[in-house]
Amino acid sequence: MALINVAAREIHCKIVYYGPGLCGKTTNLKYIHSAVPGHAKGDLLSIATETERTLFFDFLPLDLGQVHGFQTRFHLYTVPGQVLYERTRVAVLNGADGVVFVADSQQNKLREDIISLQELARNIQAEGKKFLEFPLVLQYNKRDVPNALPLEQMDHYLNSSIKVPRYEAIASKGVGVFDTLKSISKLVISKL
Partner 1 sequence: MDPQLTSLVVSQAETTHIEDTLERLVAETGANYSMLLDKSGQVIAASGDTDRQDITALGALLAGTFASSREVARLLKEKDFRVLFQQGVRENIFTELISEQWMLVVMFDKRTHIGLVKVLSKRATDELASILERVKLESRAKDHIISTNFRTSVEDTIDLLFKD
| Whole-angstrom distance, CA of residue 185 vs CA of residue 180 | 9
Backbone angles phi, psi at 73, to 5 degrees: -125, 140
Binding status of residue 87 toward partner 1 by CB under 8 A: yes
| Whole-angstrom distance, CA of residue 180 vs CA of residue 182 | 6
CB 188 → partner 1: shortest distance, Å?
Answer: 9
Binding status of residue 167 toward partner 1 by CB under 8 A: no
Binding status of residue 157 toward partner 1 by CB under 8 A: no
Nearest residue to 82 (alpha-carbon basis) of 26, 147, 146? 26
Helix (H) or strand (E) holding 81: none
Distance between start and end Cα atoms, the chain: 9
Q: Three-class SS of residue 161?
A: coil
Binding status of residue 185 toward partner 1 by CB under 8 A: yes
Binding status of residue 6 toward partner 1 by CB under 8 A: yes
The one-letter amino acid code at 20 reads: P
Binding status of residue 5 toward partner 1 by CB under 8 A: yes
Is the CB of 74 or the CB of 106 nearer to partner 1?
74
CB 149 → partner 1: shortest distance, Å?
Answer: 25
CB 113 → partner 1: shortest distance, Å?
Answer: 24
Binding status of residue 163 toward partner 1 by CB under 8 A: no
| Whole-angstrom distance, CA of residue 60 vs CA of residue 76 | 5
**Torsion angle of alpha carbons 5, 124, 32, 71, nearest 10°?**
-10
Binding status of residue 33 toward partner 1 by CB under 8 A: no
Binding status of residue 152 toward partner 1 by CB under 8 A: no
Chosen residue from 22, 48, 90, 162 binding partner 1 by CB under 8 A: 90
Using CB under 8 A as the binding criterion, the count of chain residues that bind partner 1 stands at: 54
Question: Is 98:15 a contact under the CB 8 Å cutoff?
Answer: yes
List of residues contacting partner 1 (CB under 8 A): 1-8, 12, 14, 32, 35-37, 40, 42-43, 45, 47, 56-57, 59, 61-62, 64-65, 67-68, 70, 72, 75, 77, 87-88, 90-92, 94-97, 127-129, 174, 178, 181-182, 185-186, 189-192
